[in-house]
Amino acid sequence: MEQRVVVTGMGLICGQAMSAPALFERIKTLQSSVRVHPGLAAYGVANAACSYVDEAVLAGLAARYGAVASRCGPPALLALHAADQAVANAGLDLATVVRKGLFAACNKQSMEAEDLLVLAQHLDPHTDTLNLDLYLELERHDPLAYFHKRQDMGALALAERYGFDDVVMTPGDACAAGGISIGTAYRYIASGELDVALAGAAETMCNYMPMLSFSVLGALAPQGLVNPGEISRPFDKARSGFVMGDGSAFLVLESEAHARARGAVILGYISGFAKQTEAWRITSSPRDGSDYARCMQAAIRDAGLALDDIDHINAHGTSTEQNDSCESLAIKKLFAERTAKIPVTSNKSAIGHSLAASGAIEAAMSILSLQHQLLLPTLNYQEPDDDTADIQVVRQATPAPLRHVLSNSFGFGGENSALVLSAA
């Protein structure tokens, strides 16, 4: 018998917000977390605007978590902070739970600029060879530095902290990983295999190599004479690319029976999930939105709902020309004449794109929208283009009766996911 899955705790950290309610309030009041990163600007990055977590905040987390921090690296620090918040918010002692699972998404971390500069000193430009022997002989090395780059370090830290020793997963499905993490946890609980799950993601993308890589791909917004907070403009005719973000969000999921037996406060429900893979291109999807539409429809079907039951869409909404067009066409294809009546928002307009973490952060914002019966705005939206026309993009915080929210995450490599979240 399928178990209903509830959300009983949430935790979050991202640029300029240390909790889910703090971020909700910022977006509600049209405050962007995007600003110029001084370190990236010093390296000469063309557009150093991003939604980064301050060094002082990371230092504070490192001090709080001590020895764990020294071997785990920044993504794990954010994961520890968000997960601790979620568990405390749920009022749950995980040590007393036997059938529990951990789902902590993260993508492969890249080398910091400082590491690359040192390594480059041992490159012979005439022969295109790298003298690694000399590098290892002359340079000082942190023996744990490699482990800071491993995507499973956050999961390891959380598994040790809370005693997860059975189901532990680290989805690495690009920009869809956070949604897939939550959706996979939902599947385990709905099927009766687990009673409780800690599910979410962490990512620190506001550093040199990710900025360079996505700039080369043409996905990042180019340098412009605009306020940093005005760069990310999903669905807008003038959109030119996304900005990077750091962040982490975790949810505590439980079977409804388990939550009610312990008297937990139910924040919302995970009602449906779909995860699908395209076989199209590594960096794009079919232009007509057909695969996005198929994924959204599968999630709604999994929730046992009809298209008319969806009251709001928390879009992937990256602010790239192709993704926003593709998602807009998918919404039109799926919802047809209802399209203009379904309010759509993109949280990335305020916090940038934190890849794996984005889906988890957006799930948390969706739960809060359901709790407050309030639509969050999409910052910087002014005018649609031909593809995004007829999409009802929310511009101001707006009260609305909300029962079910569809939250989309579409990643590189054709990794697509959608969650249906429902009011308690």
Residues tagged active-site: 175, 316, 353
For residues 177 and 294, membership in a common domain is answered with: yes
Q: How many H helices and E strands in the chain?
A: 16, 17
Instruction: Give pLDDT tens digits for 280-297.
Output: 776 667 788 999 999 999
Per-residue pLDDT band for 378 (boundaries 50, 70, 90) equals very high
Residues 131 and 222 in one domain: no
pLDDT, one tens digit per residue, over 76-91 is 999 999 999 999 999 9
User: What pLDDT does residue 217 have?
Assistant: 79
pLDDT above 90 covers what percent of the chain?
76
Q: Are residues 158 and 136 in the same domain?
A: no
Give 68-123 pLDDT, tens digit per residue. Answer: 887 888 899 999 999 999 999 999 999 999 999 999 999 876 666 667 677 778 88
- Looking at every residue in the chain, the average pLDDT score rounds to 92
Segments forming the whole domain that contains residue 119? 114-146
What's the distance, CA 207 to chain centroid? 17
Question: What does the pLDDT average to over 375-384?
Answer: 98
Q: What is the pLDDT of residues 218-244, one digit of tens each?
A: 888 987 668 999 999 999 999 999 999
Task: Work out the burial of residue 108: count CB atoms within 10 Å of its CB; fewer than 13 is exposed, 13-18 middle, 19 or more buried.
Answer: exposed
pLDDT at 265: 98
Task: Indicate if the pLDDT at residue 147 is higher than 60.
Answer: no
For residue 139, give every residue at least 6 positions away whose Cβ sits within 8 Å of its Cβ, in sequence order, or none: 118
Q: Are residues 140 and 156 in the same domain?
A: no
Looking at per-residue pLDDT, the higher value among 125 and 97 belongs to 97
Same domain, 206 and 241: yes
Residue finishing a domain among 126, 146, 166: 146
pLDDT for the residue numbered 27: 98
Same domain, 251 and 118: no
Quick one: pLDDT at residue 127?
86
Mean pLDDT calculated for residue range 16-41 = 97
* 129 alpha carbon, distance to own chain's centre: 38
* pLDDT band for position 149 (cuts 50, 70, 90): low
- Identify the weakest region by mean pLDDT among 19-23, 66-70, 383-387: 66-70
Q: Same domain, yes or no, for 71 and 138?
A: no
Domain count, the chain: 2
Kindly indicate the confidence band of residue 384, based on its pLDDT and cuts at 50, 70 and 90: very high
Same domain, 140 and 153: no
What whole-number percentage of the chain has pLDDT above 70? 94
Q: Quote the pLDDT of residue 224.
A: 66
pLDDT-derived band at 407, boundaries 50, 70, 90: very high
pLDDT of residue 301: 98
Mean pLDDT of 172-198: 97
Say whether both 94 and 136 belong to one domain.
Answer: no
| Predicted pLDDT at 209 | 83
pLDDT the model gives residue 143: 57
Tell whether 158 and 226 lie within a shared domain.
yes
CATH number at residue 217: 3.40.47.10
Model confidence, pTM:
0.93
pLDDT of residue 117: 72
Give the pLDDT band of residue 146 (cuts 50, 70, 90): low
Residues 237 and 347 in one domain: yes
Give the pLDDT band (50/70/90) at residue 414: confident
- 175: pLDDT strictly greater than 70: yes
What sign does the CA torsion over 217, 386, 280, 416 have?
Answer: positive
Give the whole-angstrom CA distance, residue 50 versus residue 37. 7
How many Cα atoms occupy the beta-carbon half-sphere of 376 within 13 Å?
34
Q: Which residues contact 69 (CB under 8 A, 6 or more apart)?
A: 61, 62, 63, 76, 77
Average pLDDT over residues 385-393: 97
> 298 with 215, same domain?
yes
